Chain A
Amino acid sequence: MGSTRKAADWLKERAFNYLLLWKSGPRRVKRVLDSRRIGRSSNCNHLPARRIRVASVQMRLELVGSATQYAEKIYRLTREAVERGAQLIVFPEYTGIPLVGFLPGLEKLAAGTTMQGALDTMVGGDVKAADVFRVLAPAVRRIYETTFAELSRRFGVYIIAGSAVLPDETGEVRNYGHFFGPDGLLIGRQAKVHLMPEEAAWGLSPGEGFQVFDTLLGRIALPVCMDATYFETFWIVAQAGAEMVAIPSANPEPYNLWMALRGIWPRVQESQVIGIGSSMVGEFMGLAFTGRSSVLAPLELTPDRTGVIAQAATFDQEEVVVADVDLGALAQLRQEAPISGGFNIALYKKYLPMAYLKHGRP
């Protein structure tokens, strides 16, 4: 009996893997996009330039059951941004999560429970969300990467594709931001370095460093959501030359101006960069995601001294925010008033290394 059960489990696993691979074939994504007859835009024809048009997508988080459905949704949002002239389009955190809908039965549970709660119901205890992400990774990776790479190439624009939870070559599961160029190639990935407590509980691992990508648009970094809670993140990328910092986010809390103001806005002010915050919205797995996608700059560069160049009108609806950013004016501000000029380096050396290690907080 034991060997029969083992054989059955093996066959089930094989069948599930075949199903995933079959459902996630890149041809499905390409077929949808072919049917849309996408014409390459001229948005990125005259680069480099010091004035850049950026779009921040506010996207509704909802499960999809097919690659076709996913490609359709991302296409629709990308097209709106491209038609409004965007050269760089930033999607929110967890754009890969809708593909968890490939897990049979999850769609029925998604409305009213947490991810861990759903897993406990479906497969019993001991299984962490990271395990599920690891199992689904081959399918998620194929659909996610194909969709954003194809849209970047076909429209001829830069896309920061939000993030997808994927294992690395060692099996550690991380929340990766992805950045595609107008040739459809992956410019780079950025793992989230500072996890939310929930993500740590899911079994995710944090990233180990930040990168700045040098492109024809300018130097761009893409830390993820919680990374913007820490000034250290922006210090590192700004001093490594980042002019624009995109923060794909997914905040599971009721919208409140002041709560929402705690991430990217103060970091932009501290570090003198252009900020592009992109928010996931909607009800998902018992959580209400809210946020207002925005394009931000130091107060000195916004005539009304608010630090906001453009912002979504709502905090719970899908929208695309488009704005022009002036990297020339940013460079001038940084040259005339470099924030780093007042550093007290001796003080930092004296206190910071030990203080980080010895603090007694929970």
Chain B
Amino acid sequence: MDKIKIAVIQFAAGKETGKPFEERAVALVAQAAAQKADLVLLPALTGWMFPWSLSFRVFFADLARQHGIFLAPGTVRAPGQEGYLHTAYLFGPDGSVFLEQAQTHTTLRERRGGMLAGETLQPVQTEIGSIGFVIGTDAWYPEASRILALQGAEILLSPQAVEAPYGKWHQIRGLWQEVQQNQVYDIECGLVGAWEGARYQGRSAIFAPCEITEGLTGFLAHVGPVVAGETEVAPEQTAGAYLEQEILLSAQVSLADLRLAQERFPIYRHFNCALYERAIPKIYESQAEANQKWDPPGRQPTG
């Protein structure tokens, strides 16, 4: 299957939780499926809003099966040893779990809140391509996207919940640039609105290598004003209403186009593996201690 239609639900928190949330999620997924989406993505933290009385996994597996789609319904708290794992699922059209992935990088704030870092990171091969998750903070660690792309991932799914204020260039230094250096698609789906005392803003987008996007922008689709034609790394002028609105965004991606971009500009062909093997492990070892005291202001936490 070459052409895949992807739908992104930029979900507005704070309207309802529990049963009403469940009903709204059902309606939004149905709306996306009606647009003939093959893959539908919801943002991070949906599991926090979901009724406690129901099983998140059973409910969304059933929804995927009903519509015959791939469904990534956001993230949940999955129990781990002495904490929880911020976990996303990908359900297949038959309702089975294709992929279960925990966020692999955590901020100090997340760790203090009990979040544990996932220990595995792998894509899954499906009939619509090889799919992996880059969740929350993982977006700002180049290793996450690199590990997935090296293992063959073609489409990265990124459920996000980033606290306000939104920063355009902060977003660009995250997943947009990971897509450029790994030549994959990434679907960034943001939670927006107020939730549990925090305010979230996002600009959901479908990123692709510049060469296969109109105007060479690296955006296949996005909410908010167009970026094509921009010529400057200019400051964000005003915060648009779109940053907090519920929006259904969709676009078609082509794996053949992706392979074309990879062949035209073969970034991976020129790795210097001998150098990486020699130099990079030393970096990680020397930095192990710093792990315990990290809380960067520029990298907003999820959850």
By a CB distance below 8 angstroms, the chain B residues around A231 are: 142, 146, 181
Minimum Cβ distance to chain A for residue B205 (Å):
13
Q: Is B271 an interface residue (CB 8 A)?
A: yes
Contact of B234 among A194, A306, A344 (CB under 8 A): A306
A329 lies within 8 A of chain B by Cβ? no
Known interface pairs A195-B270, A209-B279, A352-B147. Does A299 touch B298 (Cβ–Cβ under 8 Å)? yes
Residue of chain B at shortest CB distance from A351 = B147
A352 and B143 in contact, given A258-B218, A259-B210, A362-B262 (Cβ under 8 angstroms)? yes
Q: Across the interface, which residues of B come within 8 angstroms of A361, CB to CB?
A: 262, 266, 268-269
Q: Which B21-61 residues have C-beta < 8 A from chain A?
A: none
Task: Please give, as numbers and ranges, the residues of chain A lying within 8 Å of B265 by CB-CB distance.
Answer: 197
- Which interface residue of A258, A266, A351 has the most chain B CB atoms within 10 A? A258
Q: Which 5 A-B pairs have the closest CB atoms?
A: A341-B294, A355-B150, A337-B296, A266-B177, A340-B287
Verify B293–A266 contact, CB threshold 8 A. Answer: no
B152 within 8 A of A: yes
Instruction: Give the residue among A298, A342, A345, A356 with the most B Cβ atoms within 10 A.
Output: A342
Mark contacts of B217-233 with chain A using CB atoms, 8 A cut-off: 1 yes-contact digit, 0 otherwise.
11000000001001111
Q: Give chain B residues whose Cβ lies under 8 Å from the Cβ of A202.
A: none
**Residues of A close to B230: CB separation below 8 A:** 257-258
Interface residues of B in 149-167 (CB under 8 A from A): 149-152, 167
Establish whether residues B233 and A257, one from each chain, have CB atoms under 8 Å apart when the complex forms. Answer: yes
Interface size of B by CB at 8 A reads 77
CB distance from B116 to the nearest CB of A (A): 11
Q: A265-B233, A345-B284, A352-B147 are in contact. Are A208 and B275 (CB under 8 A)?
A: yes
Q: Is the CB of B147 within 8 A of A338?
A: no
- A–B complex contacts, Cβ < 8 Å, 29 sampled: A194-B272, A197-B270, A208-B274, A208-B275, A230-B271, A231-B181, A262-B180, A265-B173, A266-B180, A306-B234, A338-B294, A340-B290, A341-B291, A342-B299, A343-B143, A343-B287, A343-B291, A344-B104, A344-B141, A344-B143, A347-B104, A347-B120, A348-B280, A349-B284, A350-B119, A352-B280, A361-B266, A361-B269, A362-B266
Inter-subunit contact B147/A266 (CB<8 Å): no
Given A232-B280, A239-B286, A307-B169: A362 and B291 interface contact (C-beta under 8 Å)? no
Q: Which of B149, B150, B231, B293 is A341 in contact with, Cβ under 8 Å?
A: B293
Binding site for A on B (CB under 8 A): 104-108, 117-121, 137, 140-143, 146-147, 149-152, 167, 169-170, 172-173, 177, 180-181, 210, 215-218, 227, 230-236, 262-263, 265-281, 283-288, 290-299
A346 at the interface (CB under 8 A from B): yes
A interface list, Cβ under 8 A from B = 193-195, 197, 200, 206, 208-210, 226, 229-232, 235-236, 239, 256-259, 261-262, 265-266, 269-270, 298-300, 304-308, 311, 336-353, 355-362
Quote the shortest CB–CB distance from B99 to chain A (angstroms).
Answer: 16
State the CA gap A358–B231 with chains docked (Å): 38
A266 proximity list for chain B (CB < 8 A): 172-173, 177, 180-181
A299 near B170 with CB under 8 A, answer yes
**Complex alpha-carbon distance, A159 and B262, angstroms:** 36
CB neighbours of B293 from chain A (8 A) = 341
A344: chain B residues within 8 A (beta carbon): 104-105, 117, 141, 143
Which residues from B are CB-within-8-Å of A208? 272, 274-275
Residues of chain B lying within 8 A (CB to CB) of residue A360: 152
Beta-carbon contact of B173 and A269 below 8 Å: yes
Residues from chain B with a CB closer than 8 A to the CB of A356 are 150, 271, 273, 276-277
User: Given A193-B272, A257-B232 in contact, is the A239-B105 Cβ separation under 8 Å?
Assistant: no
- A298 to B, closest residue via Cβ: B298
Q: How far is the CA of A340 from the CA of B289 in the complex (A)?
A: 9
Question: Which chain B residues lie closer than 8 Å to A300 at the CB level?
Answer: 297-298
> Which residues of A have CB within 8 Å of B275?
193, 208-210, 232, 236
The answer to whether B181 touches A342, judged by C-beta atoms less than 8 angstroms apart, is no
Q: Point out the residues of chain B lying under 8 angstroms from A342, CB to CB.
A: 105-107, 137, 141, 291, 294, 296, 299
Chain A residues with CB below 8 A from B231, complex form: 257
Given A195-B270, A356-B271, residue A236 in contact with residue B236 (CB < 8 A): no
A338 contacts which chain B residues (CB < 8 A)? 287, 290, 294, 296
Residues of B close to A362: CB separation below 8 A: 262-263, 266, 268-269
A322 to chain B, nearest CB (A): 18
Cα(A341)–Cα(B106), bound, Å: 9
Asked if B216 contacts A235 (CB within 8 A), the reply is: no
Given pairs A209-B275, A337-B295, A344-B117, 14 additional interface contacts (CB within 8 A): A195-B270, A209-B279, A231-B181, A258-B216, A265-B173, A265-B233, A337-B298, A338-B287, A339-B296, A341-B290, A341-B291, A355-B150, A359-B268, A361-B266
